[in-house]
Amino acid sequence: MLTRDDNDRLTRIGPGTPMGELMRRYWIPAGFAKQIAAPDSPPVRVKLMGERLVMFRDSKGRVGLLEERCPHRTASLFFGRNEECGLRCVYHGWKFDVDGDCVDLPSEPRDYNLQARVKAKAYPCVERGGLIWAYMGPAEHKPEFPELEWALIPDTHRYATRHIQECNWLQGLEGGFDSSHLSFLHGGSAHSEMRVVPTRYEVVPTDFGFVAGSGRDMGAEGVFWTANVMLMPFHKIIASNPMAAHVWAPIDDENTMLYSVDFNAERPLTETDLARSKAHNGIHTDNIPGTDRAIQNKDNDYLIDRELQARGGSFTGMKGLGIQDCAVQESMGPIADRTLEHLGISDTAIARIRRLLLQTLKDHAAGKPLPGIDPKSWRVRSARYKAPADISFAATMAQHVRMNALAAAE
């Protein structure tokens, strides 16, 4: 279990909080590029890291992410006119470009010189992998965009969706790396090899975050390891076929935008590849049309089918891996009270992950180098492989996870 102070340090992500300031040192997804597909298209609201923002694409195709409140009288820029390379507030006509500079101030005398002194809060953005990514940290520390494999491949090689999790980001991340739950929560849904409960749990810190290994003893064949990659501060690369990924981007302390991705780096995805995903039986959810909220949600008890649960066709009676995860993670409350937990051996990875995150917070406060800042460190994949039982996970995982090592082996 965690102390209440440590729980707060890990979960609170607003401006000025330890975890919030750490996360702002990385690129964070703000939305899909298709939401603002055309120049001068309508702006969209974004809530990210506890901040209310507006995202838009200007006349030249550049993306802006501004604080929603106009610096004049704090009216919402969501209602603004997106025109001639700027977002114009409809209240008094003040206009701001993608950098937050005031480019027109029609309601004020020209000799007043107020325009040069007015600036909207703005965050730099890049487009990668069909998403708009924002950097919300200190300008002097802005890193290059990381070499995140699924964000660098052609659109035809990737399938991405998102939905809102009504709980804190850490509940999602911990659930993603809680390997022992696969045999139970996802019983009847998971692949056959996941139905064997792991007996070994390892977490290895790396220059990009960590690798979590869960081992299933296979007798004379050795150990079957599943090595899942965590990229700082909230990414998971999932060991699956096709490969998959999650990003738990905090909306605020009590809500998370979960991006889910299927991808194949070598070829376009086929309808066969995506059949499970498009049927919403995997990590992707079926959302209420026009929203990011799943049809199966806490207000309708995730449409749990007790008869299906009783028959044994599903351990939970809920359809889809993503919904099953959301149901249990949201059931813990908006921010889980980890002082009430009783952890077991199967929670070894969870305990180590928390210690690693707490240590990273200390390193950040001390000004030490942070994992994942070097874009080349993201050249990694998750993996499944067999290894001799007498060799540790730490000794074997790099040759299966590091893409440089994989290329050399080939």
Of 141, 160, 186, the domain-final residue: 141
Q: CA 371, 155, 258: angle at the middle one, nearest 5? A: 50
Helix (H, G, I), strand (E, B) or coil at 150: helix
Q: CA 36: distance to chain centroid?
A: 20
What percentage of the chain has pLDDT greater than the value 70? 96
Question: What count of other Cβ atoms lies within 10 Å of the Cβ of residue 24?
Answer: 20
C-beta neighbour count of 205 within 10 angstroms:
17
Is residue 273 domain-shared with residue 383, that is, in the same domain? yes
pTM: 0.94
* Confidence tier at 309 by pLDDT (50, 70, 90): confident
- Position with higher pLDDT, 44 vs 352: 44
Q: How confident is the model at residue 408 (pLDDT cuts 50, 70, 90)?
A: low
344 part of a folded domain: yes
For residues 30-37, average pLDDT? 98
Q: How many Cβ atoms are within 10 Å of 311's Cβ, its own excluded?
A: 11
Residues 219 and 131 in one domain: no
Average pLDDT of the chain, as a whole number:
93
Pairing of strands 44-48, 131-135: unpaired
| 10 lies in some domain | no
Residue 223 and residue 129 share a domain: no
Q: Rounded to an integer, what distance in angstroms lies between the CA atom of residue 37 and that of residue 44?
A: 11
Angle at 302 between CA 300 and CA 304, to 5 degrees: 100
**280, 405: one domain:** yes
183 & 101 share domain: no
Closest residue by Cα to residue 297 from 324, 263, 272, 315: 324
> Is residue 241 very low, low, confident or very high in pLDDT (cuts 50, 70, 90)?
confident
Residue 34 has pLDDT above 80, yes or no: yes
Q: Are residues 279 and 322 in the same domain?
A: yes
| 8 Å CB contact between 384 and 224 | yes
Is 5 domain-assigned?
Answer: no
b/e code 129-165 from CB counts within 10 Å (16+ = b): bbbbbbbbbeeeeeeebbebbbbebeeebbbbbbbbb
pLDDT level of residue 196 (50, 70, 90 thresholds): low
| Domain that includes residue 48, residue range | 27-141
pLDDT score of 211: 95
Q: Which two tokens stand for residue 72?
A: 């004049």
- What pLDDT sits at residue 314? 84
362 half-sphere exposure, CB direction, 13 A CA radius: 7
Last residue of a domain, one of 110, 141, 172: 141
CATH number (domain holding residue 81): 2.102.10.10
Asked whether residue 191 carries a pLDDT value surpassing 70, the answer given is: no
Q: Rounded to the nearest 10 degrees, how much is the dihedral formed by the CA atoms of 147, 151, 155, 161?
A: 170
Q: Are 74 and 156 found together in one domain?
A: no
Residue 11 lies in a domain: no
Rounded Cα distance, 178 and 181, in Å: 6
As a whole number, mean pLDDT of residues 314-339 equals 93
For residue 65, being part of any structural domain is answered with: yes
How far apart CA 244 and CA 238 sit, in angstroms, is 5
Q: How many domains does the chain have?
A: 2
Query: What is the C-alpha end-to-end distance of the chain, expressed in Å?
Result: 43
Cα-based distances in Å from 153 to 135, 263, 268, 269: 21, 9, 10, 12
Q: Which of 93, 124, 141 is the last residue of a domain?
A: 141
Question: Is 377's pLDDT higher than 90?
Answer: yes
**CA 357/CA 368 separation, integer angstroms:** 14
Residues 220 and 104 in one domain: no
- Mean pLDDT, range 389-408, rounded to an integer: 85
Residue 189, pLDDT > 70, answer no
Q: Verify that 402 and 254 share a domain, yes or no.
A: yes
Q: Mind listing the pLDDT tens digit for each residue in 125-151?
A: 999 999 999 999 999 999 999 999 999
Residue 334: alpha-carbon gap to chain centroid: 17
Confidence of residue 405 (pLDDT cuts 50, 70, 90): low
Please check whether residues 211 and 249 belong to one and the same domain: yes
Is 174 inside any structural domain? yes
Q: Reply yes or no on whether the pLDDT at 193 is more than 60.
A: no
* Same domain? 225 vs 318: yes
Whether pLDDT at 180 is above 90? no
Beta-sheet strands, E only, within 108-233: 125-128, 131-135, 158-165, 200-205, 209-217, 223-231
3-state secondary structure of 399: helix
Hey, CA dihedral for 205, 211, 217, 223, is it positive or negative?
negative
CB 86 within 8 Å of CB 65: no
Identify whether the C-beta of residue 304 lies closer than 8 Å to the C-beta of residue 316.
yes
Nearest CA-CA partner of 78 in 107, 46, 103: 46
CA distances from 309 to 61, 174, 184, 315 (A): 50, 25, 12, 6
Whether residue 16 is contained in a domain is answered as no
The enclosing domain of 290 has a CATH number of 3.90.380.10
Question: What confidence score (pLDDT) does residue 315 get?
Answer: 86
Mean pLDDT of 14-30: 98
Cα-only R_g, the chain: 23
Beta carbons of 49 and 136 less than 8 angstroms apart: yes
Q: Identify residue 372 by its one-letter amino acid code.
A: G
Q: pLDDT grade, residue 242 (50/70/90)?
A: confident
Count other C-beta atoms under 10 Å from residue 16's C-beta: 8
159 and 129: one domain?
no
